[in-house]
Amino acid sequence: MKALDEASDASAGGGPVEEPSPIARVRGAPILSLPQDLYIPPDALEVFLEAFEGPLDLLLYLIRRQNLDILDIPIAEITAQYMDYVELMTELRLELAAEYLVMAAMLAEIKSRMLLPRPAAEGEDEEDPRADLVRRLLEYERFRQAAQDLDALPRLERDVFPVQAELPRGHLQRVPPEVDLCELLAALREVFARAELYLSHRVEKEPLSVRERMSGVLERLAGGGFHRFSELFEGLEGRAGVVVTFLAVLELTKNAVLELVQDGAYAPIHVRLREQTAEAESHDTAAA
């Protein structure tokens, strides 16, 4: 209001008018002053530093915060801290303090039983007043830890979200056909046929000559007589030497220079020079 009066005085005096800055804006409209009927309840803003799910949870929190032994609870100290929290809850929310008051009464009973003197005869056999509370706290801690472990697991719609993708309209999904073995072999055959077009054959001079081998066979048979057919071949030259020797024998037999003789069926084959060839060779030897 003071700002508005100053603005009106400035306008009356003819000076420049400065618009007051708005307190807030609601949907773009500036708010220059607070409404007269604005009411803010005292509990509109509440801050909870710790949230507990029950009296056992509160007791376990107080024990763990001070690193106390749960099997040897200092009842007096824990009861004092527990009552402070119950009084705070009573001030804030009275309806939440009912079950906590039951636990407070139990703590007071345990504290009174521990303060009362015990008979000497029954002191050894009497159970510790804190035993039942310790059992409940241990069981509650075990179930709370199990609940925390379950809550840490991935949960659908919280940690993991399913994804669905819709195909656009007019999209046809074509399933490729299965490849048959016959089609695969046909494709391989085409590859072989195409590879043969790039093959090259090199003709090399044969180190073994049929004509030279014919001269060697004649020199071997020049002494006359029969020789076994297998004795003309030497295995050291390999398959090529056997083929060349066989071709030389065939060529000599074709020209009627050699004679192949066999005594009977499946009998060994013998080779000798024909008589005319043997006589001609003997004359040539005598003349020389």
- Determine the average pLDDT of the residues in 38-52: 56
**pLDDT digits over 146-200, tens only?**
988 998 898 888 888 888 888 777 777 777 778 788 888 888 888 888 888 877 7
- Determine the average pLDDT of the residues in 52-74: 80
Q: Is 59 exposed, middle or buried (0-12, 13-18, 19+ CB in 10 A)?
A: buried
Instruction: Look at 42 and 61; give whichever has higher pLDDT.
Output: 61
Q: Are 221 and 272 in contact (CB under 8 A)?
A: yes
- pLDDT more than 70, % of the chain: 75
Pair of tokens at residue 261: 């003789």
In 3-state terms, what secondary structure has residue 9?
helix
Domain ranges of the chain: 2-31, 55-116+128-152, 210-287
| CB neighbour list of residue 112: distance below 8 Å, 6 or more residues apart | none
Place 281 in a pLDDT band, splitting at 50, 70 and 90.
low
pLDDT of residue 38: 67
**pLDDT digits over 226-259, tens only?**
888 888 887 777 788 888 888 888 888 888 888 8
57-61, 70-74, 97-101, range with the lowest pLDDT: 97-101
Across the chain, mean pLDDT equals 75
Cα 81 to Cα 108: distance, rounded to the nearest angstrom? 12
210-287 CATH: 1.10.10.580
Q: Is 15 exposed, middle or buried (0-12, 13-18, 19+ CB in 10 A)?
A: exposed
100-104, 250-254, 267-271, range with the lowest pLDDT: 100-104
pLDDT of residue 276: 62
pTM exceeding 0.75: no
Going by C-alpha positions, the residue among 161, 276, 278, 143 that lies closest to residue 223 is 278
- Tracing tokens 């590879």 back to the chain, one arrives at 195
- Tracing tokens 């090199």 back to the chain, one arrives at 202
Cα 21 to Cα 30: distance, rounded to the nearest angstrom? 9
The amino acid present at 205, given as its one-letter code, is K
- Determine the average pLDDT of the residues in 125-154: 85
pLDDT of residue 284: 53
Q: What is the DSSP letter of 15?
A: -
